[in-house]
Structure 1
Amino acid sequence: MTTKITESPRERVRRAFTEPGEFRTSPLYRALSRTVAGDDALLDLAAGGRPGQYPTFLFFGAVHHLLLTDADAREHPLAAYYPSLLPPGATARPAEEAGPALVDFCARHADALRAVIGTRLVQTNQVQRALGLRFGLAAIAAEIGDRPVHLIEVGTSAGLNLRFDRYGYRLGGRRYGDPDSPVQLVAELHGNGEVPDLDALPRLASVLGVDLHPVDVLDRDDRQWLRALVWPENQDQGLLLAAALDLVAGDPPPILAGDAIDVLPGLAASLPAGEPRVVYHSATRMHVPAERLDAFDAAIASLGDTGPLWWLSVEEAPDPDPREDTSRGGAALRLRGPDGASRDLAVVEGHLRWVETLPVPSPTG
């Protein structure tokens, strides 16, 4: 008889910190991940999140949150390694030397960190990802025609992406959207494929966000948590986030609190029969527990039970990757049409800092 070996929470978390490929733009988090992977006390602390929460994002978000919001914590030597905590023009200490400071900081503030890790969710609201939504809507505009669409975002956090039509964009040197908006999203353009007209968009019949625990753009603590989830080196993203929060606070989109698996089938029944709908999610499915992924996908697909559904996402890498040079990495901006066929519109950096167009749509079945 074969004995099944169950991986302990500590070892599961150790794997996540051993190969932290998500931190391409954060030398500090890459260096600190090695420290966490080799320290059992830190691993046990990081393992205290709710099921499905990605431990690296949650742990570093909790540490950053405490440094940003607690004056006593900010006096700790660890703060000197965080560019986000330093005055303009100051240089952070070398990331490779930060490990011992992290160990000491977590020992001193274990109870406060444990409280954040055990109650908060990874709800990044990278406003730059609104570009992925706008790109996808432009790509399906011709298919939808002049019919208005119902837009639903799953894992919407504070709903910043749902106000994509209030922002300005610059992709590959060309401008789109509102040139006077305080939120201007800039992305590099790569590849030889066609870029759809990002100003030729379907009309919106309604917008709605769905989130387990919606982030209130008017709540100071919620805003601080979103800021803590921005990596310390990415100060431009922090400024964009603040600008978007201020803009959206003037007209927050409606957000439905609940588990998408539970609420989406009912939402489908509430939409006008036969009217087009678009669902969007980005870096959301990765936080769904593995045993619930099939139910998550089925719930999204159920939005097509009462009308034609276009399903747009930024989650996994393209498989297979159709590009000749795959060294840049990236995730697929994937669109599944009402006929059930999927195609990759582009490959994008996870935070939509760049877009690489594809010469031929990549079928994914």
Structure 2
Amino acid sequence: MTIAETYARFAAREARGVSPTYERLALAVAGDDAVLARLSTVPPAKQQPNLLFGVVRLLGGPVDDPVAFHDFVLANWPATEAGLRARATQTNEAGRCAVLLPVLAALPQPLALLEVGASAGLCLYPDRYAYRYGDHRVGTGEPVLECAAGGLALPAGRPEVVWRAGLDLNPLDVTDPADLAWLDALIWPEHTHRRARLRAAASIAAAEPPLLVRGDLVDDLPALAAEAPAGATLVVFHTSVLYQVPAPRRVAFVDLVRELPGHWIASESPEVLPYEGLPEPPSDAAHHVLALDGTPLAWTRGHGQAIDWFA
């Protein structure tokens, strides 16, 4: 797929109906030969829309006007390129806990959570957030994670978590203003609710920081998993992470995680973590597959805003 096709696909499948600003901007970049030429000089993993848009926002550039965006990128390409090469998309969306909750709540309690690609670890607190699935409420407090749900029995309560740890090549610290600014820059322009959610979730994490380890999802996972306390169910999980991992390492990770004790929860695009016999997704929008121990259970949306159970 060409860079232009990647941006057009992002506009059609991810941004449409979710962020008019990014849909318009991605379509403009798809037809912008000058910006595409510059993107071609960085590695393919650094060409993705979310990363480019986040870097420009972090630099104070405009994303609401494609012409102004074009001018900013060309005038500030050295800084933009440096940002692309140094950064990775680490969208630490706490809302994804809403699609994990039905599976986490059904596992033997208490849980020892280990997130791969944890960023700042905000998805390690499913026991601290409140949830609203239509008229069905779970838990109290802030933030409240809203999720459209269909086809499943909704959980009555939150899981009991006694240990939480994360593994990331570049873990972020929510108490560091620079790290929090990067997480904020990755939130799509219109999503003020997600910005408020980030601040609320960051406050929870700052009050009780998780164990975040800088490391590789294959080389360093067994040692961290071994630190989980006895008597708790180990749950290794990840959401929207494996697309950043080269295919051979994905295979090595899947082989490894299947051998660990406990359970494995994945919410990833079926293009990067494929399954046989999947039903058709609910719409043409981009969907991930929620799976437990390699068995697909449901279609989910990337920010945790919807879950459609098919298992």
TM-score (norm 2): 0.88
Change in 2 beyond 3 A, CA 1:280/1:49: farther
Deviation at 1:229, TM superposition (A): 0.5
Change in 2 beyond 3 A, CA 1:208/1:38: same
Amino acid corresponding to residue 48 of structure 2 in structure 1? P
Amino acid corresponding to residue 17 of structure 1 in structure 2? Y
1:120 to 80, 87, 90: 87
Deviation at 1:224, TM superposition (A): 0.6
Deviation at 1:32, TM superposition (A): 1.7
Deviation at 1:315, TM superposition (A): 0.6
Deviation at 1:259, TM superposition (A): 1.1
Q: Give the 3-state SS of the residue equivalent to 1:261 in structure 2.
A: coil
Change in 2 beyond 3 A, CA 1:32/1:224: same
Equivalent runs, 1:59-74 vs 2, <5 Å: 59-67=52-60, 73=61
Counterpart CA distance in 2 for 1:38 and 1:290 is: 29
Amino acid corresponding to residue 251 of structure 1 in structure 2? E
CA contact (8 A) 2:239 2:266 kept: yes
2:39 to 40, 46, 59: 46
Deviation at 1:205, TM superposition (A): 3.8
Counterpart CA distance in 1 for 2:223 and 2:238 is: 18
Aligned residues: 304
* Matched residue, 1:188: 148
Change in 2 beyond 3 A, CA 1:281/1:198: farther
* Matched residue, 1:256: 213
Equivalent runs, 1:154-165 vs 2, <5 Å: 154-165=116-127
Change in 2 beyond 3 A, CA 1:104/1:294: same
CA contact (8 A) 1:171 1:186 kept: yes
Change in 2 beyond 3 A, CA 1:165/1:273: closer
* Matched residue, 1:7: none
Gapped regions of structure 2 (runs ≥ 5): none
* Matched residue, 2:25: 32
Is 1:208 aligned to residue 165 of structure 2? Answer: yes
Amino acid corresponding to residue 269 of structure 2 in structure 1? E
Is 1:102 aligned to residue 69 of structure 2? Answer: yes
Amino acid corresponding to residue 31 of structure 2 in structure 1? G
Change in 2 beyond 3 A, CA 1:232/1:272: closer
Counterpart CA distance in 2 for 1:321 and 1:218 is: 41
1:352 to 272, 291, 304: 304
Counterpart CA distance in 1 for 2:186 and 2:206 is: 19
Change in 2 beyond 3 A, CA 1:168/1:274: closer
CA contact (8 A) 1:153 1:210 kept: yes
What is the CA deviation profile of residues 149-188 of structure 1, one whole-angstrom value per residue up to 9, with x for unaligned ones? 32111111111111121111111211112x1x22111112
Counterpart CA distance in 1 for 2:147 and 2:3 is: 33
Gapped regions of structure 1 (runs ≥ 5): 1-10, 68-72, 82-97
Is 1:16 aligned to residue 6 of structure 2? Answer: yes
Counterpart CA distance in 2 for 1:235 and 1:200 is: 26
Amino acid corresponding to residue 86 of structure 2 in structure 1? T
Counterpart CA distance in 2 for 1:295 and 1:241 is: 32
Change in 2 beyond 3 A, CA 1:34/1:50: same
Counterpart CA distance in 2 for 1:323 and 1:15 is: 23
What is the CA deviation profile of residues 296-352 of structure 1, one whole-angstrom value per residue up to 9, with x for unaligned ones? 3233234x1xx3x2111111247544368545652222111xxxx6131x2222111
What is the CA deviation profile of residues 162-221 of structure 1, one whole-angstrom value per residue up to 9, with x for unaligned ones? 1121111111211112x1x2211111223xx332424163x4342111111001111001
CA contact (8 A) 2:173 2:179 kept: yes
Amino acid corresponding to residue 16 of structure 1 in structure 2? T
Q: Give the 3-state SS of the residue equivalent to 1:314 in structure 2.
A: strand
* More moved, 44-53 vs 117-126: 44-53
Deviation at 1:50, TM superposition (A): 5.8
CA contact (8 A) 2:101 2:158 kept: no
Change in 2 beyond 3 A, CA 1:272/1:165: closer
* Matched residue, 1:316: 269
Change in 2 beyond 3 A, CA 1:149/1:221: same
Amino acid corresponding to residue 106 of structure 1 in structure 2? V
RMSD: 2.5
Q: State, as a whole percentage, how many aligned pairs show the same letter.
A: 34
Counterpart CA distance in 1 for 2:234 and 2:41 is: 37
Counterpart CA distance in 2 for 1:272 and 1:247 is: 22
